[in-house]
Amino acid sequence: MTTVDEPLLASDEPSFGVLRRMFSLERPGTIVAALVVLAFVVVAVLAPTIAPYDPLKQSYLKINTYPSADHWLGTDQFGRDVLSRLLFGARNSLIFGLLAPGIAAIVGTVLGVCAGYFGGVVDRIVSRIIDLLLSFPELLLAIMISAALDGGFWNVLLVLSIAFVPGFARVARATTLAVRQEPYIEASISVGLRTRTVILRHVVPNMASPVVVLATLWVASAIRLEASLSFLGLGTRPPAPSWGNIIRDALGNVFGSPWPIIGAGLAITIVVLSINVLGDALRDALDPDMP
């Protein structure tokens, strides 16, 4: 029997049980995806140490060289080592991929919980704001805000966070509305617990699972959106390397050196796919209806 002090969680399994379900031998793809993501994180963190060259160093004697023992992925039209630029570009992708969904999850969850729990005017105002932002696709919304703010690290982070807030707010609001009707919430209110205590102790733990899953999936979306903005010239400013602007810079030199496009394109595809696989596995592991 559930008491006021012991909220009914969406899943009674401990953390190791969730991990065991995610990485069971029946899910070899999830294990491979986890290894790819781990390699991506290690490469991004250790890029200054493992990169063979300075990603900004130009050499007119090594323009458009083919892959070799000295330059594993060749060089671009400025003689810069492609592999080094890809390694440093991974740092941008990791930073934006983690920070933007994290900030959006906090802001969106607060808005969604307030709208779902309090209802009334608060719900109507938050819902209208969410509907307005959701009327634009994420990429279009990011482009519009980016064009107004210009590029730069903080502006790109702000743009990506704003683009993700509506989705988190909608999920948090819908889940809070369902949790708000549970008997233990009514019992908590009837015994005189403060609103803040009810929300933090009983509402948030019971609606955390879908938000966590959504945040995991949108790490991949943040990496993709940042690359798209950088490709359009609205994201990371050159000469700082980003997978998006690496592809942008290489477009005019595709016949001289296709390796930047091939390398950055494969990196984006593999990392985004791997994170999506992990997100799907986490969603299935946290679903109490799954066998």
pLDDT tens, residue by residue, 8-63: 444 444 566 677 777 776 778 889 999 999 999 999 999 999 999 999 999 888 99
* CA separation for the pair 221, 217 (Å, rounded): 7
- Count of alpha carbons within 13 angstroms of residue 281, beta-carbon side: 24
Q: Closest Cα partner for 33 from 286, 285, 272?
A: 272
pLDDT given for residue 112 in this prediction: 93
pLDDT given for residue 16 in this prediction: 65
pLDDT given for residue 11 in this prediction: 41
Mean per-residue pLDDT over the chain, rounded:
86
pLDDT given for residue 17 in this prediction: 67
- What is the tally of helices (H) and strands (E) in the chain? 12, 0
pLDDT given for residue 76 in this prediction: 92
What is the model's pTM?
A: 0.84
Torsion, CA 26, CA 39, CA 92, CA 285, rounded to 10:
20
Full DSSP string of 182-206: SHHHHHHHHTT--HHHHIIIIIHHH
Residue 86 tokens read as: 């890809």
CATH number for the domain whose boundaries are 15-286: 1.10.3720.10
Is residue 76 within 8 A of residue 260, CB to CB? The reply is yes
- Domain boundaries of the chain, sorted by first residue: 15-286
Q: Closest Cα partner for 157 from 207, 212, 107?
A: 107
pLDDT given for residue 44 in this prediction: 92
Q: Closest Cα partner for 53 from 22, 88, 21, 18?
A: 88
Does 126 score more than 50 pLDDT?
yes
pLDDT tens, residue by residue, 238-284: 888 999 999 999 998 888 889 999 999 999 999 999 999 998 888 88
Query: 36-50, 60-74, 138-152, 155-169 — which is least confidently predicted?
Result: 138-152
Does 152 score more than 70 pLDDT?
yes
* CA separation for the pair 62, 72 (Å, rounded): 13
Is residue 74 within 8 A of residue 68, CB to CB? The reply is yes
Confidence tier at 1 by pLDDT (50, 70, 90): very low
Residue 237, helix vs strand vs coil: coil
pLDDT given for residue 15 in this prediction: 60
Query: 17-21, 129-133, 186-190 — which is least confidently predicted?
Result: 17-21
